[in-house]
A = this chain, B = another copy of it.
Amino acid sequence: MNDKPTSAKKAPSSRPDGVVTLEQVAELAGVSPSTVSRILNGTAAVSQVKKDAVHAAIQELGFRPNPVARGLAGGKTLSIGVVTQIISSPFYGEALLGIERELERAGYVPLFVSGNWHEDDERKAIETLLSRRVDGVIVLAGRIADAELAKVSDNLPVVVVGRQLSGPQLFSFSFDNREGARLATQHLVEQGHRRIAFIAGDLLHDDAVERQNGYFDALAAAGIAQDPNLIVQSDYTEAGGMLSVSRLLERDTHFTALFASNDQMAIGACLGLHRRNLRVPDDVSLVGFDDLIMARYSMPPLTTVRQSVYEIGTEAAKAMLDMLRGSQPKATLPGPELVVRESTRRMQR
């Protein structure tokens, strides 16, 4: 225990604070710091003996590498920036959970910043992330220009969800929104509805456009003409859904079914209809999109299109990890699936 005169020039043996450094590990294991680093990162082959000694030392000292120092020295911070839009949204929450879980398994930590559906905020968010030296960036939808994202990917791997981009360090994938929306609308058609209103999301976003296209697809397949009076654009929020119903009703156009392009708007629409004394599904059949938890517990339980938002998160994270380790990223999402609950019914009469 006291083989050395503790008066060595440099004896970081134990510091006042509980911080254990790689250097101490090296000392205890009787090797050089570089060797410890190599073992930690698998940067080079090391003899088994030293490996064991180092691992033992790590155990004994309870050493945990300092990501900050790591970040400075090697450029790797083991953290992944995630640009979300509204962290409090039930939709994004699910995705973030998936990302967090998947990243954690690989020792990475997500750094969440909100873009607030605002281009400037997104840009700032990315700035923040870059200045924090994240190892990669995952972008969930958003408004920032494709070109800007591409530029970011010059320096870092970037995964984008909900767009179609690609590049050497740029990977993107989307849920099949169009097909999902088509299924939803088709379901309504099959129930005998022909006057099917549609609440679109913000058409600045691909996914909103795709969902609208899916709606058109189903209409076309059924030989139903599009009626602009049945379409209203909104913003994916409950309040927006409720307001949309008012707008629709003010137009004095008759409809027996309503497809809201996300669950939140559907929930809001449901209340809006209720306020006008229109019952779901008796007077109006209602379909949502996303299958958030709220869809299952709404009254009546909402027919909707299932997309596993959680899986979108895990897939994005996996793709990022792929890129990080140099392999070809991929993402396989389950296809859209209609979940029929109690907000839709066959048209009467």
Binding site for B on A (CB under 8 A): 17-18, 64-69, 71-72, 77, 79, 86-90, 93-94, 96-97, 100, 109-114, 127-128, 131-133, 155, 238, 242, 267-268, 270-271, 274, 293-294, 296-299, 301, 310
Contacts and interface: CB of A to CB of B under 8 A. Distances in A.
B298 A299 contact: yes
Chain A interface, DSSP helix/strand/loop, else mixed? helix
B87 A96 contact: yes
A97 B88 contact: yes
A67 B270 CA distance: 48
Contact of A93 (B93, B127, B296): B93
A299 B268 CA distance: 10
Nearest to A99: B87
A71 B65 CA distance: 14
Contacts of A296: 238
Contacts of A128: 109
B72 A100 contact: no
B93 A97 contact: no
A291 B96 CA distance: 23
Contacts of A97: 86-88, 114
B297 A299 contact: no
A173 to B, nearest CB: 21
Contact of A71 (B68, B100, B242, B267): B68
A131 B65 CA distance: 7
